[in-house]
Amino acid sequence: MHYFTISDLAHEFDVSTRTIRYYEERGLLSPIRTESGQRLYTKKERAKLKLILRGKRFGFSLDEIHEMIALFDEDRTGKKQLEKTVEYGRRKLKEVDERIEDLLQLKAEMEALLSDFEKRLCEWEESGG
């Protein structure tokens, strides 16, 4: 299996190494270490970082993202655990759905604004321009 160094990930996702270490401080990432103490990231850790950054783009706090990532990490042996996980997942999914709805609304508003401006621009060109 192949591992990523911290700067591999930093370059790939265009974040600082400090940021990646900070996410570890906050318990969002847990890379393994070489004998000398350097961090090595598996594909799974990489996937987690990807999810963190995606979450951030939508204004989720690191605490919220932490909860989401728990879906990756928890050992979901046991039925109870699994049920809890699924229920939490459904809730979060609903939140995401609401955000999409909200964004579509924003888009519609902006489009209305834009088409109004464009109309005015046309009028301008027809009459005086």
Partner DNA sequence: ATTTTAATTGACGTTGACGTAAAAGTCAAC
Partner DNA sequence: GTTGACTTTTACGTCAACGTCAATTAAAAT
| Residues at the contact surface with a copy of itself, assessed by CB under 8 A | 51, 54-60, 71, 76, 79, 82-83, 85-86, 89-90, 92-93, 96-97, 99-100, 102-107, 109-111, 113-114, 117-118, 120-121, 124-125, 129
Burial of residue 126 (CB within 10 Å: 0-12, 13-18, 19+) is exposed
Q: Does 119 bind DNA (CB under 7 A)?
A: no
Least distance to DNA from the beta carbon of 53, Å?
A: 8
Query: Which residues pair with residue 39 across a beta bridge?
Result: 33
Least distance to DNA from the beta carbon of 15, Å?
A: 7
Q: Is 128 helix (H, G, I), strand (E, B) or coil?
A: coil
Amino acid at 6: I
| Interatomic CA distance for residues 93 and 96, integer angstroms | 5
Among 12, 27, 32, 38, binds DNA (CB under 7 A): 38
